[in-house]
Amino acid sequence: MNGETRYGAHGHRFAGCIFEGVFSMDLILVRHARAFDRDASAWPDDSRRPLTAEGREEFVRLAKRLRRIYPTVDLLESSSYTRAWQTAQLLAEHAGWPKPSRLERLEGNNASGSANGASAEAVQLESLLRTVRALRGIGAVAWVGHEPLLSRFASQLLAGSPGAVRIAFKKGAAIALRLPETHNHDEHDEHDEHDEHDEHDEHDEHDAERARAGRGHEPPMNAAHNAASTLRADLLWMATPAMARAKRGGKRGGRK
């Protein structure tokens, strides 16, 4: 098994690795940092609720730590909700990651818990799965969003079901997943399977571009099911603001 480090057009190191035709993409999911509590009088539109000063401060410490773990991220996408967008901007500023772009599908599902909410969540998870497939070939992608969507999406990737793995995704926390993908297809695959994959690839690329522009349409159910059946991830690590605080406190203790 031969490892290979990949570099981008400008000499940036990709976080993914290639092992005998299998390329791994790292997906870093980040929940927005601590924000003000819901207050309809202060923010009638809850999507405009911002981070607190304390939330910003503690997330900056985590962002600096993430910079050491992942000095290069190739794509940073975020919900446009103020609290998520501000978190993504802190990552760009303090982790050195790219400027964020909007991915509307990360903006959560406010109807969770109801029958309609469950249906909306299923469609949203399927949309995210298709977007991940369309981004294959990129070394490291970071998404900033909301709960419960992020933890349920991580569970979908880890175990094939949004409720299979319980993840305590605290505000300002980050989780890294590795998704291996095989690029060298068997030349003896049946033609109909080959054609089906090609058709889905075209839809995936078009779908992800529309998502980044904030006007993506929902995918056909059968194509999304194909994405869910082939995508599996391994858990690399999880980091929380509390861990960053503990590390900082340990350093202070050592200087006394």
Please tell me the distance from the alpha carbon of residue 214 to that of residue 87, in angstroms, as a whole number: 19
pTM above 0.75, yes or no: no
Q: How far is CA 173 from CA 145, 149, 167, 192, 227, in A?
A: 11, 14, 11, 43, 26
Residue 30 has pLDDT above 50, yes or no: yes
Q: Which domains does the chain have, with CATH numbers?
A: 13-246 (3.40.50.1240)
Strands 5-7 and 13-19: antiparallel
Residue 209 has pLDDT above 60, yes or no: no
Please tell me the distance from the alpha carbon of residue 63 to that of residue 127, in angstroms, as a whole number: 28
Distance between start and end Cα atoms, the chain: 47
Strands 13-19 and 140-145: unpaired
HSE-up of residue 247 (Cα within 13 Å, Cβ side): 11
Two structure tokens written together for 176: 């890294």
Residue 56 has pLDDT above 80, yes or no: yes
Which amino acid, 148? P
In which band, very low, low, confident or very high, does the pLDDT at 103 lie, cut at 50, 70 and 90? very high
Please tell me the distance from the alpha carbon of residue 86 to that of residue 48, in angstroms, as a whole number: 11
Two structure tokens written together for 58: 């503690």
Tell me the H-state helices in the chain. Answer: 53-69, 82-94, 115-134, 149-159, 191-212, 221-230, 241-255
* Mean pLDDT, range 170-178, rounded to an integer: 97
Q: Which CB contacts under 8 angstroms, 24+ apart, belong to 195-202? A: 200/133, 200/226, 200/227, 201/134
Predicted local distance difference test score (pLDDT) of residue 177: 97
Predicted local distance difference test score (pLDDT) of residue 247: 60
Predicted local distance difference test score (pLDDT) of residue 248: 58
Predicted local distance difference test score (pLDDT) of residue 109: 61
Residue 87, C-beta contacts closer than 8 angstroms, at least 6 positions apart: 30, 32, 33, 51, 59, 78, 144, 172
C-alpha torsion sign, points 165, 212, 7, 21: positive
Query: What number of H helices and E strands is found in the chain?
Result: 7, 8
* Mean pLDDT, range 84-104, rounded to an integer: 98
Two structure tokens written together for 135: 């981004």
Residue 72 has pLDDT above 80, yes or no: yes
Residue 23 has pLDDT above 80, yes or no: no
Residue 194, C-beta contacts closer than 8 angstroms, at least 6 positions apart: 185
Two structure tokens written together for 133: 């497939």
Predicted local distance difference test score (pLDDT) of residue 43: 97
Predicted local distance difference test score (pLDDT) of residue 230: 59
Two structure tokens written together for 142: 């970071």
Predicted local distance difference test score (pLDDT) of residue 108: 72
Whether 255 contacts 160, CB under 8 Å: no
